[in-house]
Amino acid sequence: MNYNIKNNNKSILSKISPTCLHFLLGCILGGFIFVLIYGVSVLDVTNIDWLTHSKDNEGLLDLTQHYLGWVFYRNSDWHFPLGLADGLYSSPVSIVYTDSIPLFAFIFKTLSPILPETFQYFGIFGFITYCLTGGFGALIIAKFTKNPIFTGLTAIILAISPVLTKRMFYHTALSAHFLILIAITLWIYRDSSFLSIDSKGKLRLKKSYIVFWSLLTVSSALINAYYTPMIVGILLLSCLQDLISRGKNNTPIISHVSTVFASILTTAIAAFSFGYFYGDVAPSTGGLTNLSFNLNQLINPDNYLCQIENYNYNFTPQSYSKILPGLKVISGWQEEGFSYLGLGIIVALVLLIIVLIIKSLSRNNTFSTKDLFKKYKSWIITLTLGLIIFVLLAMSPIGTIGSKTIYDIPYPEIVMKTLSIFRSCGRFIWPVYYGMILLIITGISKLYEHFSKNNKFISRSIVAIFIAVFVLQIYDISPSLAYKNDVYSKKFSTYDSPLKDPAWDELGENASEIMFYTPSLYGIECNPELSCIFEHYALEYNLSLNVTYMSRDMSSFADKKTLSHFKEREKGKSYPDIIYVFYDISEIPPAEESHLNYYKLDGYIVGTERQLNGLISYYPPYPAKSDEVESETPNQYQP
């Protein structure tokens, strides 16, 4: 019996291609790295304490906002578009604007009846991200060498990359860098896995190729929209590379056009179906020229942690290197362009350049620079073009290096508005970042393959050097890995609301909505903590809010609706089921106009038509400044 089992296992393994085994190895290593850094508690789907304490994690409340967005969406009725959530705004708003990973939110909302009452999927998403990052990283290098040392170490290098480390759980949906790796995989495996010849002898791309690209672009839009232009850009570059490589007559142009068209069309349909174009959401917003990539950031280990205190944005520098010093940037807002390669990869790049120079100058060199360009012409042209396009997009219309501005392009307003749809443009450096790492490792692996045939000593030396580079990489970026481990592997306490006054219970049990007056004055966009406090309260009592902290500031739209609402109140219209929350007592409408009773609860001025038991009405007007309540208008978001 045992003998037969062993034989069966052997036959199963023999059916798995070596390439797939490298992918599985990469996935296992990626998942192992995730557990080492973040622990296993985040994988407990009923553990939400680490999500509700995100300000205590890395100083940013986005993770809490992402989780609360999912809960509102889960509790909402089904709508069309499918991504609409109730309660986060005065009308349904798409889950895409809470960055709650819409694809996962939709899947688990569908499964909601069989899920625990308290459920989170962010830990699962992180684990899958690391698995796929390692898996596809290994798969890409397996195209050039089947040596498991190269594929396995590549998986680890990508899984611990500073860019991925920075984003994981800080901006969870933006850590899905595996999408970029999948696009690169489809590109380099196109000819070997997806190319066929039709009955007329012409080259065609298999239908599966079109399907895979369409699924990838749709997935990018349903995880985070910033990935979509990156993925489409890589797709277009792959089409161009094929055209240059084969020539017009030998390129499956119709197949490429079909792939691009199908990908864009299906993505547009998916975006529409999830509410990208629904409701009071401005497509573009400010910050384009500040949230950018600085030319020194590939070798600059300084990351900036963004924290919001008293309506002001503060940045805390944080080094991702144990060896290299930090370099200057224009401002902390350029944290969006953070893209430190790591000292190991930088050293590998320098060594590779030295080898190529020596090889090109060698008298025994039978492979001239001209021959090299001729052989890899399509790749060199395409990758150079891609490098230029993505770097320019990432740098924004105002280019910087260090603390200096090197250019300022006065784009027309319509171009600026179009680019501002993706205002955090520094993120567009990611395809270049991963492309550079993979090219460096590919170059080393190609050298290894070249010498492994006729010079074992040199080939083994190359492996040893690569291992040394790997060790240097880990040592150099170890502070960032230790920091993340310290933040997310600790035990968190259960969320405790700061709204302690018993009157909140009386209000919540007799209301259906919370209305901030007015949202822009209250600074919801630059006070996510206040938004999260009242979102927790709203969920406890099944209330809705007139506006919340989201990836797009909707305060101006909410202001108009709120001011219109108060005009109705002046006319005597009654809304007994609304709780009104005010920021500045000098701005509170007089009671004879609003017909409200005002109370001070836990530092907030609250208006309600109800008479609260045992409380004295906190009745305006008051002086413009008060010792009890701060009346200074908050600093609005000015990146």
- Kindly report, residue by residue over 302-338, the tens digit of the pLDDT: 999 888 777 778 888 999 999 999 999 999 999 999 9
Within this chain, do residues 371 and 455 fall inside the same structural domain, yes or no? Answer: yes
Cβ–Cβ < 8 Å for 547, 514: no
Q: What is the pLDDT of residues 551-579, one digit of tens each?
A: 888 888 999 999 999 999 999 999 999 99
Within this chain, do residues 273 and 306 fall inside the same structural domain, yes or no? Answer: no
Measured CA to CA, the distance from residue 250 to residue 257 in angstroms comes to: 15
* CB-based burial, 407-425: b 16+ in 10 Å, e otherwise: eeeeeeeeebeebbebbbb
Whether 363 is covered by a domain: the verdict is yes
- Which segment of 220-224, 266-270, 620-624 scores lowest on mean pLDDT? 620-624
Tokens representing 201?
Answer: 């002898």
DSSP string for 530-562: HHHHHHHHHHHHT-EES----SS--HHHHHHHH
Within this chain, do residues 335 and 275 fall inside the same structural domain, yes or no? Answer: no
Whether 138 is covered by a domain: the verdict is no
Whether 71 is covered by a domain: the verdict is no
Query: Under DSSP, is residue 195 helix (H, G, I), strand (E, B) or coil?
Result: strand
Beta strand 513-517 pairing with 544-545: parallel
Within this chain, do residues 198 and 306 fall inside the same structural domain, yes or no? Answer: no
Within this chain, do residues 445 and 523 fall inside the same structural domain, yes or no? Answer: no
Whether 197 is covered by a domain: the verdict is yes
pTM: 0.92
- H helices then E strands: how many in the chain? 25, 13
List Cα–Cα distances, 208 to 130, 190, 192, 194, in angstroms.
25, 11, 13, 7
Whether 626 is covered by a domain: the verdict is no
Beta strand 93-94 pairing with 302-309: unpaired
Q: What is the pLDDT of residues 44-98, one digit of tens each?
A: 999 999 999 988 888 888 999 999 999 999 999 999 999 999 999 999 999 999 9
Q: What is the pLDDT of residues 335-392, one digit of tens each?
A: 999 999 999 999 999 999 998 888 777 766 655 666 677 788 999 999 999 999 999 9
Please state, for a pLDDT cut of 70, what percent of the chain lies above it. Answer: 91
Whether 178 is covered by a domain: the verdict is no
Whether 111 is covered by a domain: the verdict is no
Given a cut of 70, whether residue 625 has pLDDT beyond it is no
281, 315, 331: which is the final residue of a domain?
281
Within this chain, do residues 584 and 468 fall inside the same structural domain, yes or no? Answer: no
Residues whose CB falls within 8 Å of the CB of residue 418, separated by 6 or more in sequence, listed in order: 284
Where does residue 12 rank: exposed (0-12), middle (13-18), buried (19+ CB within 10 A)?
A: exposed
108, 113, 115, 116: CA torsion to nearest 10: 130
Whether 202 is covered by a domain: the verdict is yes
Q: Residue 139: CA atoms inside 13 Å, Cβ hemisphere, count?
A: 23
Within this chain, do residues 310 and 350 fall inside the same structural domain, yes or no? Answer: yes
Q: How many domains does the chain have?
A: 3
Measured CA to CA, the distance from residue 430 to residue 427 in angstroms comes to: 6
Mean pLDDT of the residues in the chain: 90
480, 513, 543: which is the final residue of a domain?
480
Q: What is the pLDDT of residue 475?
A: 98
Within this chain, do residues 470 and 518 fall inside the same structural domain, yes or no? Answer: no
Query: Under DSSP, is residue 81 helix (H, G, I), strand (E, B) or coil?
Result: coil
Domain that residue 466 falls in: 302-480
Within this chain, do residues 323 and 425 fall inside the same structural domain, yes or no? Answer: yes
422, 446, 480: which is the final residue of a domain?
480
Q: What is the pLDDT of residues 164-210, one digit of tens each?
A: 999 999 999 999 999 999 999 999 999 989 988 876 778 889 999 99
Query: How large is the average pLDDT for residues 533-557?
Result: 94
Within this chain, do residues 474 and 535 fall inside the same structural domain, yes or no? Answer: no
DSSP string for 52-73: HTHHHHHS--HHHHHHHHHHHH
DSSP string for 368-413: -HHHHHHHTHHHHHHHHHHHHHHHHHHH-SEEEETTEEEEE----H
Tokens representing 27?
Answer: 């996935």
Within this chain, do residues 325 and 461 fall inside the same structural domain, yes or no? Answer: yes
Within this chain, do residues 475 and 561 fall inside the same structural domain, yes or no? Answer: no
Containing H/E element for 337? none
Query: How large is the average pLDDT for residues 479-486?
Result: 96
Angle at 634 between CA 623 and CA 525, to 5 degrees: 135
Comparing CA positions, the residue from 74, 71, 68, 72 lying closest to residue 109 is: 74
Which one is predicted more confidently, 276 or 284?
276
